[in-house]
Amino acid sequence: MTVTVARSVPEALQALAADPPPEVLAGGTDFMVEVNFARRRPEAILAVSRIDALGQWQQSDGQLRLGAGVTYTQLLEPPLAELAPALAQAARTVGSPQIRNAGTIGGNLVTASPAGDTLPVLLALDAEVELASAQGTRTLPLEAFLLGPKRCARRPDELLVAVRFPAPFGRQEFVKVGTRNAMVIAVASVCVVLDPGTGQVRIALGSVGPTPLRARAAEAYLAEQLVPQGTGPTATSAFELRDGDAALAEVRRLVAEAAQPIDDHRSSAAYRRHAVGVCVARALERLLRPAPGAALGEVAA
């Protein structure tokens, strides 16, 4: 077995050009569990956690580009937490402080777990991923990147180098259900994003399908339902639903219908279906009538 510690992206891409390519180790929070439990016995490992460039981020033209090595802890801190509040809310629910210090957004994407906490947020933000190899760089929309449970479109010779999405962008809420108040895998999670300029809503669901899912029927229904509260001098930043509580109930129904949950040891399909409906309704209520500073929630100190 060999271990290569790359210090730059070109160095990493060169290593990945080997046949067969080495396995990529980032924060280690998923990879090392498999090694420790003898479920994975790599011949060659490429460690990318020491590539400084991967831990950087840039904002330009309304886009945020996060290097794949950005950790959950970085996402929790300003200014990233203000640029992408739902991502910060999701990051806060990942594992423990120890995991958040090591785990990376790139790792979350490549692991492609149906329960990956940042994935519904990135999906709701229409994120794109950048994949680099010695052959060049390609960009994929997230929906094309996430193929199934623990399956993604990265080729073995490619390195996921960054993820891009619009930021700052509208109002955002991430909500996650787990059976413990910390350090818990999501039983269900949702991200709802509202663009107050267009009244457009995007909804993504986690842990209720082979990959995170968009609830497009619910989004389309909401496009018809959402109206600004008050007009003219009484206009506020709040929205209301044309059909009020009945509309909220319909959203819950459409969201539950969009979910494709399974029964497992963490919960039942029926509960997951129910929970995503409740969570989307709650997230929507918060977004439609935001309390001052509420969009940020309380991001951890």
Partner 1 sequence: MTVLERPRRATRGVGVSAPRPDGVPKVRGQFQFSSDLFAEGMLWGHVLRSPHPSARIRRLDVGPAWAIDGVRAVLTAADVPGAPTYGLEIPDQPVLAADVVRYMGEPVVAVAADHPETARRAAAAVLVDYEPLDPLVDPEDAISAPPIHPDGNVFRHLRIEHGDPEARGEVVVEGTYEVGMQDQAFMGPESGLAVPAEDGGVDLYIATQWLHVDRDQVARCLGLPLEKVRLHLAGVGGAFGAREDVSIQVHLCLLALATGRPVKMVLSREDSFFSHVHRHPARIWLRHQADRQGRLVRVDARVLLDGGAYASSSTAVISNATAFATGPYRVPNATVDGWVVRTNNPPCGAMRGFGAVQACFAYEAQMDKLAAALGMDPVQLRLANALRHGDTLITGQRIEGSAPVAQVIEAAAGAPLPAVGPEALPDVALPGGAGRTATRSRVRRGVGFAVGYKNLMYSEGFDDASEARVRLELAEDGPLATVTCAAAEVGQGFVTLARQICEEELGVERVVLAPPSTARIGSAGSTSASRQTWMSGGAVAEACRAVAGRLLERAARRLGTDPGRLVLAEGAVQALEGADALSVAELLAEGPLEETVTFHHRQTEPLDERGQGDAHVAFAFAAHRAVVDVDLDLGLVKVVQIATAQDVGRVLNPLQVLGQIEGGIAQGVGLAVMEEIVLDQGRVRNPSFTDYLIPTALDMPDVAVAALVEEPEPGAPFGAKGVGEPPTISSTPAVVAAIRAATGLPLTRVPVRPADIALATPGDPRP
Partner 2 sequence: MRYELVVNGTPREVDSSWLGESLLYVLRERLGLPGSKNACEQGECGSCSVLLDGRLVCACLVLAASAVGAEITTVEGLGGEGPEDLDPIQRAFVEAGAVQCGFCTPGLVVAVHDLLRRVPQPSEWEIREAISGNLCRCTGYGRILDAVQRAARAFAEQAVTR
User: What is the contact surface with partner 2 in residues (CB under 8 A)?
Assistant: 1-3, 5, 25, 27-29, 32-33, 35-37, 41-42, 45, 47, 49-50, 73, 95-99, 101-102, 181-183, 300-301
Please state the closest distance from residue 106 (CB atom) to partner 2, in A: 15
Residue 85 near partner 1 by CB under 8 A: no
Contacting residues for 66 by C-beta, under 8 A, at least 6 apart: 57, 80, 105, 162, 163, 164
Q: Is 182 in the site for partner 1 (CB under 8 A)?
A: yes
- Helical spans, DSSP H, in the chain: 9-16, 31-36, 72-76, 80-83, 85-92, 97-102, 105-111, 119-124, 142-145, 216-225, 244-258, 269-288
* Amino acid at the residue 296: L
Q: How wide is the angle at C-alpha 105 spanned by C-alphas 192 and 290, nearest 5°?
A: 25
User: Which of 74/172 has CB closer to partner 1?
Assistant: 172
The DSSP string of 258-271 is H------SS--HHH
Select the binding partner of residue 284 from partner 1, partner 2, none (C-beta < 5 to 8 A, by kind): none
Minimum distance from CB of 258 to partner 1 (Å)?
A: 18
Alpha-carbon gap, residue 189 to 216, rounded angstroms: 16
Closer residue to partner 1, CB minimum distance, 96 or 231? 96
Contact letters (x/-) for partner 1, 10-39, by CB under 8 A? --------------------------xxx-
Question: Which chain residues interact with partner 1 by CB under 8 A?
Answer: 36-38, 41, 89, 92-93, 173-187, 189, 264-268, 270-271, 274-275, 278-279, 282, 285, 297-298, 300
